[in-house]
Amino acid sequence: MSLILSALENIPLIRQGDNLADIVLNAFEQMNVALLDNDIFVLAQKIVSKAEGRIINLADVIPSQEAIELAEKTEKDARLVELMLQESNEVVRYRKNVIVVEHKLGFICANAGIDHSNVLGDGDNKDVVLLLPENPDNSAKQIRDEIKKRTNKNIGVMIIDSHGRAWRNGTVGMCIGLSGIPALIDERGWKDLFGYTLQATIVGVADELAAATSLVMGQAAEGTPVVHARGFPYPLGEGSLQELIRPKDMDMFR
């Protein structure tokens, strides 16, 4: 069994209002491969945010007193910190240059996922930033529904971002929204090779696929923000971002 992850070439620069289903299908058609049931398209958060117009000019942001104080402690731009606070439920940790929050979407991430790079094509313009999509599960569902309508194929769609982690160096791709893909596979009660019952194995398959596709996308100038995945080894089914988030009271590391 093989899992094949292919970066789509020919994804144009995305602008507010662009139809991502259209753009993904056009780029996929140029690969001269038939779309099949159970295929998955994985999109970088950045292009979804851009299409949804989640661009903010820092010149328009007036920082609160709380933002000004946290900006001083972390040596960050107070307007940027204001956006981080607006995008978050709470600040979990901070130190110089890093603010780790519980994002409004529920997950823990640095800087509320607000991104400077690859925003507008205006060089080192640090005044333009990109917020995460407002409802990435819904963004994924809209793209999936439209692809299904146009192709009659039952596919999955996932939106990913790169997150830092506790304990380990290096960012890895994480799922921040999905439609038509299971988030977790609960193998408790399954038997292993020898009939021994697995005790505690709930597998984060959506995050595993997110990491896999992030590797293929690259981070910097590659310009390949969409990956086609074939061979996902579980049946497609409904999943949601919320399943991937450990409730605060179950988290020993909050």
Spatial CB neighbours of 194, under 8 Å, sequence gap ≥ 6:
none
Say how many residues touch a second copy, by CB under 8 A: 82
Q: Are 34 and 155 in contact (CB under 8 A)?
A: no
User: Using the rule CB under 8 A, which residue among 70, 108, 112, 157 binds a second copy?
Assistant: 108
Residue 100 three-state SS: strand
Is position 58 an interface residue for a second copy (rule: CB under 8 A)? no
Is position 107 an interface residue for a second copy (rule: CB under 8 A)? yes
Q: Within 207-226, which residues bind a second copy (CB under 8 A)?
A: 207-212, 214-216, 218-221, 223-224
Q: Within 122-141, which residues bind a second copy (CB under 8 A)?
A: 122-125
Q: Are 105 and 176 in contact (CB under 8 A)?
A: yes
Q: Are 128 and 118 in contact (CB under 8 A)?
A: no
Is position 57 an interface residue for a second copy (rule: CB under 8 A)? no
The minimum distance between CB 127 and a second copy, in angstroms, equals: 12
Spatial CB neighbours of 19, under 8 Å, sequence gap ≥ 6:
51, 146
What are the structure tokens assigned to 99, written together? 């603010």
Is position 36 an interface residue for a second copy (rule: CB under 8 A)? no
The piece of 67-75, 80-88, 147-155, 181-189 that touches a second copy (CB under 8 A) is 181-189
Q: Which is nearer to a second copy, 131 or 174 (CB)?
A: 174
The minimum distance between CB 61 and a second copy, in angstroms, equals: 19
Q: Which is nearer to a second copy, 52 or 102 (CB)?
A: 102
Q: Within 65-104, which residues bind a second copy (CB under 8 A)?
A: 93, 95, 97-98, 100
Q: Within 2-21, which residues bind a second copy (CB under 8 A)?
A: 2-7, 13
The minimum distance between CB 149 and a second copy, in angstroms, equals: 27
Letter for the amino acid at 171? T
How does 6-33 read in b/e, with b if 16+ C-beta sit within 10 Å?
bbbeebeebeeebebbebbbebbeeeee
**Judging by DSSP bridges, how do beta strands 202-203 and 108-110 pair with one another?**
unpaired
Q: Which is nearer to a second copy, 62 or 193 (CB)?
A: 193
